[in-house]
Amino acid sequence: MEMAEIGATPAGGVHRLALTDQDRSTRDLFATWCEAAGLTISVDRMGSMFARRAGTDVDAPPVFAGSHLDSQPLGGRFDGPLGVLAALEAVETMNDQGIETRHSVEVVNWTNEEGSRFAPAMISSGVFAGVFEIDFAHAIEDASGATIVGELERIGYSGSEPVGGRPVRASFELHIEQGPLLERSGTAVGVVTGVQGARWYDVRIEGEVTHAGPFPMSERKDPVRGTARVLDRLFELVRTLDDEGKFTVGEIHASPGSRNTMPGQIDFTVDIRHPDDDALTGLDEKFRALVSAETEAMGLSAQIDQIWHSPTTRFAEECVDAVRAAAVTVGLSHMDVFSGAGHDSVYMQRVCPTGMIFVPCEGGLSHAEAENITQKDAEAGANVLMHSVLGVAGVAGAAG
């Protein structure tokens, strides 16, 4: 709740876009708490923070536990911070209980998970996993032209550690479910088996700019009309295809953007997702065909630029089992779930065995100021996270 005061919004959420002054404040606060817990902090060249609690075996690779502190615009308090701060709580509990682990444990804050200021999402874990080149990531610009590397330097989080290229034993992430299944079924913990695939696009529909008053309707090349038609058909397509595909337009911009000018150009973002990779590919093809057919018929032109593809991920059995076993140890009800949202764990699964834990969130809502969880759910998630980590990191002196 103290962290949620940074970038707090009137409706109870937070507005803390990646690498803004608010993000710097959360990082500073997180670092203060990590130092108080006796952890050693390192920052890599993508600004991701790793707070290490040393294990007894100096040669054993670390176990990661973490998530992200950046938020959506007018976002919630828990998407991200829950996973980072529960990991910190877990190592503080190990300190309090005098528990030593064989593998070191690193509490991680990944830079720019959300991808709303700098697209795409999960960029720094992606660089860590070798999916993106660091130069590509550093050069990504926000809407005003500020770059990731420039903003890392400005807020003082352009670290010196190389990004990735080091062994990690396993990685765990606690997160709110961001959907309604756990709450509706009265289940305490979701054992996450994987994450559905996603594709992001920038779409532009172009017509011919003209005056709002005198120019005849029948002769207009209106990209707003084209966009309305295209979107109506696309929503219908995805809704009727199956129960699992998702289609979201999160941003729409008209240019030049004046009340009494019919715009010449509409730019919008598209996010499509599906748990089945073949179905996602099919959706991609149908989407492209529909946009070009409809705009052509209206004398408009269309451009589709795919800026990201994150295929469906399945988490390592070892970590899924560790999470399930932890839920049993803590005595909580649990069910297997598949994540609808993307997470840094998707890219960590390419580096090491990875697992995720979900806890219910009120009404299944997230990416919204209304996002809420109970203290009981947070505690349950933190306990399962700690026991998952201990299961793999190994308690020094314990048998097995």
> Residue 295: enclosing H or E segment and its boundaries?
helix 277-297
351 near ligand GLV (CB under 6 A)? no
Determine how β-strand 40-43 pairs with β-strand 49-53: antiparallel
Identified binder of ligand GLV from the candidate list 203, 330, 341, 392, rule CB under 6 A: 341
The three-class DSSP label of residue 104 is: coil
Rounded Cα–Cα distance for residues 305 and 203 (Å) = 6
Structure-block tokens of residue 205: 């529909």
- 204-235 b/e with 16+ CB inside 10 Å = b? bbbbbbbeeeeeeeeebbbbbbbbebbbeebe
79 near Mn ion (CB under 5 A)? yes
Which among 77-85, 125-133, 262-270, 356-364 is the span making contact with Mn ion, rule CB under 5 A?
Answer: 77-85
Count of residues engaged in binding ligand GLV, rule: CB under 6 A: 4
Identified binder of Mn ion from the candidate list 13, 80, 81, 263, rule CB under 5 A: 80
- What is the closest distance, in whole angstroms, from the C-beta atom of residue 317 to Mn ion in the complex? 24
70 near ligand GLV (CB under 6 A)? no
120 near ligand GLV (CB under 6 A)? no
Q: Which entry of Mn ion, ligand GLV, none binds 80, CB below 5 to 8 A by partner kind?
A: Mn ion
- Do 313 and 346 contact (CB within 8 A), yes or no? yes
Identified binder of ligand GLV from the candidate list 89, 114, 206, 267, rule CB under 6 A: 114
Rounded Cα–Cα distance for residues 293 and 399 (Å) = 65
Which among 115, 55, 46, 35 is positioned nearest to 80, based on CA atoms? 115
Count of residues engaged in binding Mn ion, rule: CB under 5 A: 2
- What is the closest distance, in whole angstroms, from the C-beta atom of residue 67 to ligand GLV in the complex? 11
66 near ligand GLV (CB under 6 A)? no
Identified binder of ligand GLV from the candidate list 47, 226, 342, 391, rule CB under 6 A: 342
Nearer to Mn ion, 173 or 206 (CB): 173
Q: Which entry of Mn ion, ligand GLV, none binds 121, CB below 5 to 8 A by partner kind?
A: ligand GLV
Nearer to Mn ion, 122 or 351 (CB): 122
Which among 132, 137, 75 is positioned nearest to 112, based on CA atoms? 137
369 near ligand GLV (CB under 6 A)? no
- Do 171 and 345 contact (CB within 8 A), yes or no? yes
Rounded Cα–Cα distance for residues 64 and 20 (Å) = 25
Nearer to Mn ion, 106 or 344 (CB): 344
- Do 333 and 189 contact (CB within 8 A), yes or no? yes
- What is the closest distance, in whole angstroms, from the C-beta atom of residue 342 to ligand GLV in the complex? 4
348 near ligand GLV (CB under 6 A)? no
- Do 224 and 239 contact (CB within 8 A), yes or no? no
Q: Which positions lie near Mn ion, rule CB under 5 A?
A: 79-80
Q: Which positions lie near ligand GLV, rule CB under 6 A?
A: 114, 121, 341-342
